[in-house]
Amino acid sequence: MSLDIERLKRLAAMDLSPDEEDEVARRLTEVVKYLDRLRSLDLSGVEPMYAAGYDEANYRPDVPSSFDPDEVMRVVPKKKDRYVRAPRMV
Amino acid sequence: MNTPTLWEAVQEARSDPGYSEELARRLLERIRSVDGELNSFISVNDAAAEQSRSSSGREPLHGLPIAVKDSISTRGIETTAGSRILKGYVPPYDATAVSRLISAGAVVLGKTNMDEFSMGSTGENSAFGPTRNPWDKSRVPGGSSSGSGAAVAAGLALAALGADTGGSVRCPASFTGTFGLRPSYGRVSRYGLIAYASSMDQIGPIARSTRDLALMLSIIAGHDPMDSTSSAAPVQDYMAALNGDVSGWKVAVVKETVGEGIDDRVSRLFWGAVDAISGLGVDVDEISVRWLDESLASYYVVASAEASSNLARYDGIRYGLSPQHSGDWRSYFSRVRGEGFGREVKVRIMLGTYALSAGYFEELYLKALKVRRLVADELSAALSKYRLLLSPTMPTPPPRLGEKTADPLSMYMMDVETIPASLAGLPALSIPVGTVDGLPVGLQALGRRMDEPSLLTLSARFEDEVLKGPAPLAPL
């Protein structure tokens, strides 16, 4: 068991303040140590269960919905005309 | 003011056209006068009384006000999931459960406080401050649907919607002395529910009587084309289940749920309730169910893995918190998420990221899913012999504020009784069975898939014959 906090921060896209980093690392280490009990189990031959209790997928017809784009755009914090403003990529 | 149960209010409203509006007005006043201390609401719909008046009065709920957990989308009413990252977000649509309640004549009274993104068992992880237990304000009301439990117990709402991933309806029901139902996975549409762990999330009602749970479930249950995981199985007659008989039923107490780690006072009340159930003519056995000890670890791996994926959408671009920062896309995301999420959410996202990352996926995530299979198979085998399985809902009475927050494992352990039903997608109902030292305790009944009627029948008989009526209001 090893916790590479820098790698996890990068993968999760999550900044942590220096104070917070110590606290989050402590909590994560404690929880991961507890979860280690799963590693020692021999579960060969057992099928993983991804979802519980629905046997059939009830797909709706693939038709455009009637959502009003103007109403959806109302919740966008930064926009220009009908475009979402995002930070520069480069 | 003595707040009625939802069913009592329905009866009054049926004969008095002005009743719903007057009741909504009284509840809004009561929220204003006592919720400062409880903090059970994040936002209150000041127009609720007016909206009650404009109800036609012909629908089953007659314009009566219902509280809604803040992770359930409400058109035109701020919905934050208890998080700073969604502060100010006003959804452009209603969740299906909400639109069905509104179609049935209900009015949204307000949005109830909760652990951020449903991550917590105490109600202390909200960005809007902790909720307090109306039975003892130095104690937590349970989470994550903390505000829904506290508001109903305090008589600030007739009934409330909560949402249950690992026990988030049942835990606050137990800690606030109310009834809470987690329906079978797929029974209630998740459309519009802000996702935590999609394979387990389920909307369910909290109320002061079994009849109120049945009424709420009758309205919100059923297939929804907007949620491909919602079941097409026909909705049963939940109101008829209230008149069912339990004599001759075979149920079982699961030994693993009443052993080590269970508070003695909870044990005593639990076994007293089991004796009372036996007195209703029910055969009660004790059985053993394997793999329950591993279910907690399985749950926290699976839920965190799904959360790390579901919460990737909060990036400060499309809605919610959107601070000014320079930098490239990734550094912007990271800063927004660092500012917007609370500590417990960060821990769980990073835990899920860890479990899904190269080198740990097979050792942790796949193994957790295999344990989930074993737990579900064991419960299914037990439920092929017994109609219901019984356990305490929570291992302890409600702890004091701050008692669990510094120690994540200690908080996760609180969910040990409620998690198996979540992993297996089974329905479970928490029944209030009394108080110890003035603090409520609940009994959990766990049933077969889609057998909500049996849960409601047992709960109704217990309420009528043992409690002799609906759950009392907390002595505020």
User: What would the pLDDT profile of B57-105 be if each residue is shown by its tens digit?
Assistant: 788 999 999 999 999 999 999 999 999 999 999 999 999 999 999 999 9
Per cent of chain B over pLDDT 70 is 100
Using CA coordinates, name the residue in chain B closest to A66: B93
Which residue has 């009274």 as its token pair? B109
The residue-averaged pLDDT of B229-238 equals 94
Q: What is the DSSP letter of B426?
A: -
Give the whole-angstrom CA distance, residue B2 versus residue A90.
Answer: 62
Confidence of residue B250 (pLDDT cuts 50, 70, 90): very high
Are the CB atoms for B320 and B85 separated by under 8 Å? yes
Q: What is the pLDDT of residues B9-35, one digit of tens each?
A: 999 999 998 999 999 999 999 999 999
Q: Do A11 and B353 touch (CB under 8 A)?
A: yes
Report the alpha-carbon distance of residue B352 to residue B355 in Å, rounded: 5
CB contact under 8 Å between B364 and A89, yes or no, is no
Q: Does residue A52 form part of some domain?
A: no
Nearest to B472 by CA among B68, B242, B131, B134: B134
Q: Looking at the domain assignment, is residue A58 inside a domain?
A: no
Judge whether A74 lies within some domain: no
Q: Which residue has the tokens 């279910």?
A: B295
With a cut of 90, say whether residue B359 has pLDDT above it: no
Q: Which residues pair with B254 in a beta bridge?
A: B287
**CATH number where A19 lies:** 1.10.20
Residue A50 lies in a domain: no
Q: Active site includes B278?
A: no
Interface contact B200-A52, CB threshold 8 A: yes
Task: Give the pLDDT confidence score for residue A87 in this predicted structure.
Answer: 82
Question: Which chain A residue lies closest to B306 (C-alpha atoms)?
Answer: A50
Q: Which of A13, A57, A67 sits opposite B334 (nearest CB)?
A: A13
Nearest to B373 among A3, A49, A57 (CB): A49
Q: Which A residues in the span 22-81 are in contact with B, Cβ-Cβ below 8 Å?
A: 23-24, 27-28, 30-32, 34-35, 37-39, 41, 43, 46-54, 56-60, 67-68, 71-72, 74-78
Query: Taking all residues of chain B, what is their mean pLDDT, rounded to a whole number?
Result: 96
Mean pLDDT of A48-55: 81
Residue A8 lies in a domain: yes
Q: What is the mean pLDDT of residues B203-213?
A: 98
- Of the two residues B47 and A64, the one the predictor is more confident about is B47
Render pLDDT for B367-405 as a digit per residue (tens, 0 to 9): 999 999 999 999 999 999 999 999 999 999 999 999 988
Which amino acid is located at B88 in the chain? Answer: G
User: Which residues form the domain of A12?
Assistant: 1-39
| Residue A47 located in a structural domain | no
Hey, CA dihedral for A44, A45, A50, A52, is it positive or negative? Answer: negative
Which residues of A are less than 8 Å from B298 in CB distance?
Answer: 38
* Single-letter residue type at B476: L
**HEC-encoded secondary structure of chain A:** CCCCHHHHHHHHCCCCCHHHHHHHHHHHHHHHHHHHHHCCCCCCCCCCCCCCCCCCCCCCCCCCCCCCHHHHHCCCCCEECCEECCCCCC
Rounded Cα distance, B321 and B84, in Å: 7
Worst-scoring range by mean pLDDT, A15-19, B78-82, B191-195? A15-19
pLDDT of residue B342: 97
How many Cα atoms are found within 13 Å in the side-chain-facing hemisphere of B10? 16
Residue A61 confidence (pLDDT) = 81
pLDDT recorded at residue A57: 65
End-to-end CA distance of chain B: 11
Q: Which residue of A has its CA nearest to B189?
A: A58
Residue B1 confidence (pLDDT) above 70: no
Q: What is the DSSP string of B55-115?
A: S-S-STTTT-EEEEETTB-BTTB---TT-GGGTT---SS--HHHHHHHHTT-EEEEEE--S
Q: Is residue A2 part of a domain?
A: yes
Q: How far apart are CA B274 and CA B50, in angstroms?
A: 46
Interacting residues of B475 by C-beta distance below 8 A, sequence separation 6+: B135
Q: Are B294 and A41 in contact (CB under 8 A)?
A: yes
The pLDDT value given to residue A90: 61
User: 């008095």: which residue's tokens?
Assistant: B16
| B168 given a catalytic annotation | yes
* In a domain? residue A71: no
DSSP string for B275-324:
HHHHTTT-EEEEE--TTHHHHHHHHHHHHHHHHHHHGGG-SSSSSS----
Lowest mean pLDDT among A63-77, B112-126, B272-286: A63-77
Domains and CATH numbers, chain B: 6-246+427-466 (3.90.1300.10)
Write the single-letter amino acid at B294: E
Interface touch B424/A68, C-beta < 8 Å: no
Please say if the pLDDT value at position A88 is more than 90. Answer: no
**DSSP reduced 3-state for B469:** coil
Q: Can you tell me the distance from the alpha carbon of B289 to that of B287, in angstroms, rounded to the nearest whole number? A: 7
pLDDT tens-digit readout, B409-453:
888 999 999 999 999 999 999 999 999 999 999 999 999 999 999
- Total domains in chain A come to 1
Name the residue among B186, B315, B376 with its Cβ closest to that of A49.
Answer: B376
DSSP one-letter code for B161:
E
Report yes or no: B389 and B112 within 8 Å, Cβ to Cβ.
no
Helices B6-15 + B19-38 axis angle, to 10: 150
Whether residue B182 contacts residue B428, with contact meaning beta carbons closer than 8 Å, is answered with: yes
Q: Is B385 a catalytic residue?
A: no
Tell me the backbone φ, ψ of residue B361, rounded to 5 degrees. Answer: -55, -50
Catalytic choice (B43, B118, B144, B189): B144
Q: Provide the pLDDT for residue B211.
A: 98
